[in-house]
Amino acid sequence: MNWALVFEQLLNGLQYGVTLFLMAAGLTLVFGIMNLVNLAHGSLYMVGAYLAVAATQWTGSYLAGLALGLVGTLLVGMAVEVIALRTLYERDHLDQVLATFGLILFFNELVAMIWGRAALFASGPAWLSGHIELFTGSRYPLYRLVIILIGFLTALILWYVVARTRLGMLIRAGASNRTMVAALGTNIRLLYTVVFGFGAALAGLAGILAGPIYNVQPGMGELILIQVFVVIVIGGIGSIRGALVGAIIVGVVDTLGRAFLKPLLGTLISLPAAESAGPALASMLIYLLMAVVLAVKPAGIFGSRN
Amino acid sequence: MKKKIAFWAVLVAALILLPPLVLAVKQPYYVDLVRRIMILAIAAISLDLILGYGGLVSFGHAAYLGVGAYAVGILAFYGVASGWAHFAVAIGASALVALAIGAVSIRTSGIYFIMITLAFTQMLYYLGISLAEFGGDDGMRIKTRSRFPLVDLGDPVTAYYVAFVLMLLSAFIVSRIVNSRFGMALRACKSNDARARALGFSPYPVRLIAFVIAGGLCGLSGALYANHTNYITPSLMSWLQSGELMFMVILGGMGTTAGPVLGAFALLLAEEVLKGFTEYWQVILGPLLVLSVIFFRHGLAGIFSRHE
C-alpha cells in the first residue's frame, strides 16, 4: 500500500473531521445549554455557504465574503431564535424536532427560490489555491490544510471562552440552573439568543469553508447534519470535548473507509463482489461504529448519564 | 363516543363513495391521490403505536416503508410474482429490520433515541443508493405487481378498495393492541418508566415488541406503496419521508385511533393544494408546520374527543 496516499487520506479525514466539529460544537452547545434539538442547524450551514458565495461575488474579495457570510449567518441564526425557537425551549423534544423540521423545508426552498436548485460554484481564495510539499512525493492542497488549522484554532478559542471568560461562566451557569442565573440579574433570554447566534455562525463557518470543496446546493445541510448527529451521539451530547473527539473519529473513519475499503475487500473476496460491497459498506461504516459505541457506552464517550 | 362513531361512519361512507363519484366526473386522478394517502395512513397508524402510545420518538420510520417496498421490488426482480410471498416477505423483513434497529436504539432514550433511529434509517437509505443492481439512486421499475387470486392490484379502483380495507384493518388492529394487556403495559412504560419497573415488568421487551409490530405494519404499507407507484426508490427511506410520517401523527393527534388517518389526509391534501399554487410550495408548508407545532397542540383528533 502507498503510504503517501494513506497519509493524504488521513489529512482529508482530519479536514472533514474539523468541518464536522464546527457543526457539532454549535449543535451540542445549544442542546447542552438550552436543551433544544435544532434540526435546522444544517440549514444554517447552507445559509452560510450561500451568503459567502453571494458576498464574494458582490465584493470581489474572498475575505470580505467570508466576513459578511459569518455576520449574515449570525444574524439569521439570532432571528430564527427570536422568531421561532424561543417558544420551544419549554416543549418536549418531539415538538422541537417537528418545528425545526418545518424550518428546514422553509430554508431549502427559500434558497432554491433565490439562487435556483442547481449547484453553485464556490471558489476558495487564489492565494490558497496552491499545494505544499509535506514530504518528498506528497503534495497536499494548501486550502485543506488551512481548514484543519482553522478548525483546531476554533476549538481552542471555544474552550477558552467557555472555560475561562465571564461569558463562558454565565453560559455554564445558565446550563445548570436557568432560573437562578436569571434571579441573579442576568438577561438569560439575551444570553440564549447570543449563544444560538454564535452556534449558527460556527455552522456558517463550516459551510463557508466547505463550499469550495463540496457542492453548494439546496439540501447540502442535511447530508452533513445527519453525520453530525452521529458525531454527537458518539462523543456524548452536550460535551464540546466529545464533539471534537467524535468529529475526528467520524471524519477519519468515513474518509478512510471510502478510500480504502474497496481495495482492502478486494484482497479478501472476489473483485466484483468487493466492487459492489465496498461502497455500500463504506457508506454504512460510521453508523455501524455508532451502534458499537452505543452498545458499550449508551451515553457516548464523554456523555454523562443524566 | 357518539361523535367518534359518527366520525368513522362519515369517513367510511365518503371513502367508499369516492371512486364512483370522481370517475363519474372523469377525474380518475383523485382515486390515485386518495389511495396514496390511505397507504401512507397505514404507515402513520403504525408509527402512532410507538410514538403516540409508546412514547418512542422514532425519526426513522420511513426505513420500514422502504424495506417493505424493496422486498416487493426485489422479489419481482427475481421472478417471484406471488402476492402472498411479496407481502409476507415485506412484513417479515421490515419486522426483522425493526428488531435489529430497535434492539440497539431502545437501550437509549430521549434525544439519543431520536438521533439514532434517524441515523440507522439514513444508513439504509445509503444502502439503497449503493445497490446498483436494484436501480441505485434512480430507483427501479417493478417487473410484476403482486399477484393475488381474484384481486388485481393493477386496477386503480380495486387497489383503492384494498388500501381502504387494509387501512381500516390496521387502525382496528392497533386499537385492539393498545387496549389489550400488552397495550396497557406499553402505555404504562410511556407515562412512568420507574413505576412500570416497580410493578414488576421490564419496559425494554415491551417497547421492543411494539417497535417490531410497528415496523411490520409499516412494511405492509411499503409493499402497498410499491404496488401503487410500480416503482421503488431510496427516497422512500429518506429522512424527509420519516419527518412527513411524524407530522401526520402529530397533526392528526398522537395516541388516538383517528389521528394518524386524519393527519395523513390533512398533510397530503395541504401539500396537494400548495403544489397547485406554487412550485416553491415548501416555503409555505414549512412555516405552516412550525405554526401548527407551536399553536395547535392536540391535533385534529382533539376536536373530536375531549380527553385532555
B138-185 confidence digits (pLDDT tens): 888 888 888 888 888 888 888 899 999 999 999 999 999 999 988 888
Q: In Å, how far is B120's CA from the nearest CA of chain A?
A: 7
Residues of B in contact with A31 (CB under 8 A): 111
Please tell me which residue of chain A has the smallest CA distance to B121: A287
Q: Quote the cell numbers at residue B16.
A: 367508499
Name which of B268, B270, B161 is nearest B224 in CA terms: B161
Question: pTM of the predicted model, to two decimals?
Answer: 0.88
Cβ distance of B290 and A283 shorter than 8 Å: no
Residue A305 predicted with pLDDT over 50: no
Residue A295 predicted with pLDDT over 50: yes
Distances from the Cα of B298 to the Cα of A95, B46, B256, B304, angstroms: 12, 19, 10, 11
Contact B85, B75 (CB under 8 A): yes
Residues of B in contact with A109 (CB under 8 A): 280-283, 286
Residues 1-30 (A) with a CB less than 8 A from some CB of B: none
User: DSSP string spanning A179-191?
Assistant: HHHHHTT--HHHH
Q: What confidence category does residue A304 fall into, taking pLDDT thresholds of 50, 70 and 90?
A: low
The mean pLDDT value of chain B amounts to 88
Residues of A in contact with B194 (CB under 8 A): none
Question: Partners of B152 in the beta sheet?
Answer: B147
Q: In Å, how far is A62's CA from the nearest CA of chain B?
A: 30
Give the pLDDT confidence score for residue B306 in this predicted structure: 54
Residue B19 predicted with pLDDT over 90: no
CA distance A252 to B93: 33
Residue among B58, B245, B283 with most chain A CBs within 10 A, to mutate? B283
CA distance A152 to A276: 36
Please tell me which residue of chain B has the smallest CA distance to A117: B280
In chain A, what percentage of residues exceed pLDDT 70? 98
Question: Partners of A216 in the beta sheet?
Answer: A120
Q: Which of A283, A290, A300 is opposite residue B119, by nearest beta carbon?
A: A290
Say which residues have a Cβ less than 8 Å from residue B174's Cβ, sequence separation at least 6: B45, B46, B48, B49, B217, B257
Contact A237, A35 (CB under 8 A): no
Q: Which of A95, A110, A287 is opposite residue B120, by nearest beta carbon?
A: A287
Give the pLDDT confidence score for residue A306 in this predicted structure: 43
User: Hey, how many other C-beta atoms are within 10 angstroms of the C-beta on A118?
Assistant: 10
Cβ distance of B290 and A84 shorter than 8 Å: yes
Cβ distance of B127 and A283 shorter than 8 Å: yes
Q: Does any CB of chain B come closer than 8 Å to the CB of residue A194?
A: no
Please tell me which residue of chain B has the smallest CA distance to A90: B294
Residues 50-69 (B) with a CB less than 8 A from some CB of A: 51, 57, 59
Q: Is A82 helix (H, G, I), strand (E, B) or coil?
A: helix
A152 by Cβ neighbours in 10 Å (0-12 / 13-18 / 19+) ranks as middle
Q: Quote the cell numbers at residue A199.
A: 452556534
Q: Does any CB of chain A come closer than 8 Å to the CB of residue B270?
A: no
Q: Does any CB of chain B come closer than 8 Å to the CB of residue A46?
A: no
Query: If you ran DSSP here, which 8-state letter would residue A212 be given?
Result: T
Q: What confidence category does residue B90 fall into, taking pLDDT thresholds of 50, 70 and 90?
A: very high
Least reliable range by pLDDT among A4-13, A136-145, B80-89: A136-145
How many Cβ pairs closer than 8 A exist between chain A and B? 121
Contact B15, B219 (CB under 8 A): no
Name which of B113, B75, B85 is nearest B207 in CA terms: B113
> Once rounded to an integer, what is the mean pLDDT over residues B83-87?
88
Residues of A in contact with B132 (CB under 8 A): 276
CA distance B239 to B250: 16
CATH (residue range A3-118+140-296): 1.10.3470
Q: Quote the cell numbers at residue B173.
A: 388492529
Residues of A in contact with B107 (CB under 8 A): 294-295, 298
> Once rounded to an integer, what is the mean pLDDT over residues A282-290?
86
Q: Does any CB of chain A come closer than 8 Å to the CB of residue B239?
A: yes
Least reliable range by pLDDT among A107-116, B79-88, B293-302: B293-302
CA distance A213 to A13: 13
Write down the domain spans for chain A. 3-118+140-296
Q: Quote the cell numbers at residue A248.
A: 475526528
User: Hey, how many other C-beta atoms are within 10 angstroms of the C-beta on B117?
Assistant: 27
Residue A79 predicted with pLDDT over 90: yes
Say which residues have a Cβ less than 8 Å from residue B303's Cβ, sequence separation at least 6: none
pLDDT tens digits, residue range A41-72? 999 999 999 999 999 888 888 889 899 999 99
B149-178 CB burial, b ≥16 within 10 A, e <16: eeeebeeeeebbbbbbebbbebbeebbebb
Regarding predicted confidence, which is higher, B81 or B206? B206
What's the CA dihedral at B177, B178, B183, B184 to 10 degrees?
A: -140
Say which residues have a Cβ less than 8 Å from residue A242's Cβ, sequence separation at least 6: A28, A232, A234, A235, A236, A300, A301, A302, A303
| Residues shown for chain A | 306
Q: Does any CB of chain B come closer than 8 Å to the CB of residue A99?
A: yes
Name which of B212, B218, B219, B245 is nearest B72 in CA terms: B219
Give the pLDDT confidence score for residue B46 in this predicted structure: 95
Across chain B, which distance is largest between two alpha carbons, in Å?
61
Cβ distance of B130 and A106 shorter than 8 Å: no
Question: Which of A301-305, B163-167, B202-206 is most confident?
Answer: B163-167
Q: In Å, how far is A153's CA from the nearest CA of chain B?
A: 28
Distances from the Cα of A115 to the Cα of A53, A218, B232, B240, B277, angstroms: 11, 9, 31, 22, 21
Residue A126 predicted with pLDDT over 80: no
Name which of B86, B45, B25, B36 is nearest B213 in CA terms: B45
Residue A1 predicted with pLDDT over 70: no
> Once rounded to an integer, what is the mean pLDDT over residues A35-42?
88
Q: In Å, how far is A142's CA from the nearest CA of chain B?
A: 31
The vertex-B193 CA angle with B190 and B197, nearest 5°, equals 130
How high is the ipTM of this complex?
0.85
